[in-house]
Every structure is written in C-alpha cells, then in structure tokens.
C-alpha cells in the first residue's frame, strides 16, 4: 500500500470509530432522533479537526524544510524515515509502540546526574501511552458534552429508570398470576387439600392430623404459630432447621400450598384417633 492509500484507510477507520462513539454516546433508539443535527455537527467537527491537523502538520514540515539547510533537511527526512512503521513486521510495530532508544544509542539520552550509580534515561513517552492519554482527552470532551451540556442520564437516573421499569414488569407479571387468597379456603370442605395432605404429610402428621413425627395439627397448641397465615408460611418455608419439616414451596404451587394450609386449619378441633401430646403454645386466632 502506498502512503496515500494508507492515509485514506486510516481516515476511514478513524471516522467510522468516531461515528460509532457518537452513536453510542447519544443513542438514537428506534427511529428518528432529535439529536441527529447535533451528531452530524459533532461528526463534522471531528472530520474538520482531523483534516486541519494534517494540513497544519504538513505545512509546518514544509516550512521547516524550506528554512533549513541541506544537512538539516537530510537529518529531518532520515528521522521521518526511521519513524515509519513496517506493518508487516511485528518487531517494528512493537518498537513504534514504545519509541525507546536502542541500547547502543542510549548515550544520547542519558541524564547527567548519578544517584549512587543509578542513572536515568530521558526516553520519549511511549506512544501507546501518549495516544491513550490523548484518547482520554477526547473522551472527556464527549463526557462533558453528554453529561453537562445535554444533561444526559446520570447513574442515579439510570438506576431509577431501571427500578421503575422493573416495577412495571413485576406488576405485569403479577397480573398474570392467580391470586392466593389465604382466607378463602380456611373454612368448609377442601377435598383437594385433603388429598394432598394424605399423600404428602400423613406419614409424619397422621392421616387425621393427630401427629406422629410431626406435631399434632388438631389441637390449639402450635410450635410455629396457628392461623391460616402462619400455617401457610410454615408449610411453604418449613419448620425449624433439623426438625424434619421441610419447605414445600418448591414442590407445590401457591394454590396447592393454600389448599394444604386450609385443610390443616380445618382440622382444628377435630378428634384424631391417637392424638400426640400438645407441643408449643396455645395460639388464639385473631378474628378479623
């Protein structure tokens, strides 16, 4: 590739990157963005700056050359030549990133002072670092425009927007779910709850709720609290750790848990065949 083509390729890559950065800082969303004129302006400013910078550098070089002697001219051109990067040679690329003097030439840049035998080289700043630094300046420019001129969303705004969005989604989700009404089933017959209880709970609580490993569910004494809400909670979340009553919320839907809780509550006051001695404390259900 000759010099001119390289410049064109470099220019195209740079302007695409800038276009992407502008789009990223000021996203259009869907459809027409009111920011479009601003974006075009920013883009033109950048392109203009790029061209002017090249122009100025060229002119300065020419000026320097026209004012210097033959020797200086040669030295200058030689330096320019030395700076050229051979893109097909990895070493040349690495060297251009560090711009450090080769060891043989270090004499030229060693500083005068001597700290107990330690001496210092006055190398140029490595270009990889320098251009990174320039990029932070460019970034800062975009940052200021976005946050301080256009009043872009701060982190707090973004957070609040996300929370509001999440609340909306939760509300939408809840609207699709069947409501669990804890008071609906705690009286009257509940065949479904009875079936579930027989199948899953009777091993420990006995078919009639009189209790085996698990406590008697028909008396007024409760370890974890009586009443439909406490009972529902115990069934869903389980008893005290290590006691044997697991959490059932992963096995049953809220509807089924509700039916179970309602069935357990409906056992109150019935007389089981072999009631287990009371455990826990008397619990009075507050009438609402």
Alpha carbon distance 221, 277 (integer Å): 9
Residue whose tokens read 């006691």: 243
Cα-based distances in Å from 99 to 79, 122, 123, 135: 12, 12, 8, 19
Contact between 272 and ligand HEC per CB under 6 A: no
> Contact at 8 Å (CB) between 231 and 265?
yes
Contact between 276 and ligand HEC per CB under 6 A: no
What the block records as the tokens of 179 is 């409501």
What the block records as the tokens of 205 is 């609580």
Contact between 215 and ligand HEC per CB under 6 A: yes
Contact between 280 and ligand HEC per CB under 6 A: yes
| Contact mark string toward ligand HEC, 220..239, x via CB under 6 A | --xxx------x--xx---x
> Contact at 8 Å (CB) between 201 and 265?
no
Contact between 253 and ligand HEC per CB under 6 A: no
What the block records as the tokens of 104 is 């043989």
> Which of 22, 245, 262, 267 forms a contact with ligand HEC (CB under 6 A)?
245
Binders of ligand HEC in range 170-209 (CB under 6 A): 197, 200-201, 203-205
Contact between 244 and ligand HEC per CB under 6 A: yes
> Which of 186, 264, 266, 267 forms a contact with ligand HEC (CB under 6 A)?
264
Alpha carbon distance 137, 152 (integer Å): 19
Between 106 and 220, CB nearer to ligand HEC = 220
Instruction: Return residues touching ligand HEC (CB under 6 A).
Output: 197, 200-201, 203-205, 213-215, 217, 222-224, 231, 234-235, 239-240, 243-245, 248, 260, 264, 279-280
């Amino acid at each position: 590739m000759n010099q001119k083509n390289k410049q064109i390729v470099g220019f195209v890559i740079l302007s695409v990157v800038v276009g992407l950065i502008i789009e990223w800082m000021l996203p259009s969303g869907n459809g027409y963005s009111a920011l479009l004129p601003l974006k075009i302006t920013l883009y033109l400013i950048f392109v203009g700056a790029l061209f002017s910078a090249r122009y100025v550098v060229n002119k300065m070089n020419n000026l320097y050359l026209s004012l210097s002697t033959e020797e200086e001219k040669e030295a200058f051109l030689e330096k320019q030549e030395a700076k050229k990067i051979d893109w097909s040679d990895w070493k040349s690329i690495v060297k251009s990133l560090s711009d450090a003097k080769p060891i043989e030439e270090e004499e030229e840049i060693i500083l005068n002072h001597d700290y107990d035998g330690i001496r210092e080289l006055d190398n140029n700043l490595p270009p990889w670092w320098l251009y990174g630094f320039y990029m932070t300046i460019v970034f800062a420019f975009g940052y200021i425009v976005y946050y301080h001129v256009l009043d872009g969303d701060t982190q707090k705004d973004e957070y609040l927007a996300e929370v509001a969005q999440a609340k909306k989604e939760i509300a939408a989700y809840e609207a699709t779910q069947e409501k669990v009404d804890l008071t609906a089933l705690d009286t009257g017959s509940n065949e479904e709850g009875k079936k579930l209880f027989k199948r899953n709970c009777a091993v420990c609580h006995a078919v009639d709720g009189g209790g085996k490993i698990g406590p008697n569910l028909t008396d007024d004494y409760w370890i974890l609290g009586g009443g439909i809400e406490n009972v529902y909670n115990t069934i869903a979340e389980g008893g005290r750790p290590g006691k044997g009553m697991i959490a059932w919320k992963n096995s049953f839907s809220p509807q089924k848990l509700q039916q179970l809780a309602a069935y357990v509550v409906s056992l109150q006051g019935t007389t089981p065949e072999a009631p287990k001695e009371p455990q826990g404390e008397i619990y009075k259900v507050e009438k609402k």
